[in-house]
Amino acid sequence: MEKVQYDRTGKLNLSTIYDRPDPVSYFSTLSQLDYAIPQAAKPLFARLIAARRSSTGRDAIKVVDLGCSYGVNGALLKYGLSMATLYRLYGNGFGGGRGDLVKRDRAIFDDPVDDDLQIVGIDQAGNAVDYAVDAGSLDGGLAADLERDGLTPPGRRAVGDADLIISTGCFGYVTERSLELLLEAAADTRPWMAHFVLRMFSFDAARAMLERHGYITEKADGLYRQRRFVSQDERRHVLDNLAAAGIDPAGAEATGWYFAELHVARPREKARKVPLAALLDGAVAVGAGEALTH
């Protein structure tokens, strides 16, 4: 793993592995930290995709993945892969160059388990987005930092008919500003939102923004393992952040892991009809001590 640095929130600074021409550094570093949130998210996203399909009455569904990196959620949701498989595919390096790796991956991302799922990724890491689109784990991609630059007209078109907007490991880097831009761009389809957010990051401002747009945000039961702390230093930073937010880490972060929660936002009229717990029935984590292995 590369030299350890921390960002302003006390998290390990991983920016050096986010934008490489191929995914090898990303997966080989994150596998050492047992990065697991896309895997934990997979069954919950699957439930939400099914629920969104019944609400639109269409099988065709467009999912926008904010902070998509190398198309991780696309690989899991559209191609049925697991994080264990991605770690095996990239985590031990690769002998050839980018072109050879793309060629190998095109064969893997040639056979969707869900043909009707269209997945479009957004990430500020242009190389990661390009790789995912070239390899095929994403149907479309947008290299953009919405926090800083907003959405361009082509960007608005790319996300304009979204049915569901998801993220794993990204909120905190992005804020309600990015979410609001996406919501405004997709005002006609009124997309649902589902974001896995570390407990040390407040979702309050996003919830208030969503409420202004006529959305209700619900938090799913359960805590979801994101990754291990890399060091005692990182652990201390995180426990300090949680203490400042009045969150008790006992049985969760105190065991050496980051934990995330799932925030789901739906238009008020939909959310009132069917509570989130009913949509997710059976797919929520049992407790902080449980590792989800779907």
Ligand X SMILES: C[S@@+](CC[C@H](N)C(=O)[O-])C[C@H]1O[C@@H](n2cnc3c(N)ncnc32)[C@H](O)[C@@H]1O
Chain contacts with ligand X (rule: CB under 6 A) = 18, 37-38, 67-69, 72, 123-125, 128, 145-147, 168-170, 173-174
Min dist. Cβ of residue 286 to ligand X (A) = 22
Complex with ligand X: residue 15 or 56, whichever CB lies closer: 15
Q: Name the nearest CA neighbour of 120 among 133, 106, 102.
A: 133
Tokens read off for 192: 């649902």
Complex with ligand X: residue 70 or 271, whichever CB lies closer: 70
Complex with ligand X: residue 25 or 168, whichever CB lies closer: 168
Min dist. Cβ of residue 67 to ligand X (A) = 3
Task: Give phi and psi for 62, each to the nearest 5.
Answer: -115, 120
Complex with ligand X: residue 216 or 259, whichever CB lies closer: 259
23, 131 Cβ separation under 8 angstroms? yes
- Inter-axis angle of helices 98-108 and 126-135, to 10 degrees? 50
Min dist. Cβ of residue 109 to ligand X (A) = 16
The whole-angstrom separation of Cα 224 and Cα 260 is 5
* C-alpha dihedral (270, 272, 276, 280), degrees to nearest 10: -60
Q: Write the single-letter amino acid at 141.
A: G
Min dist. Cβ of residue 84 to ligand X (A) = 14
Complex with ligand X: residue 129 or 279, whichever CB lies closer: 129
Min dist. Cβ of residue 24 to ligand X (A) = 14
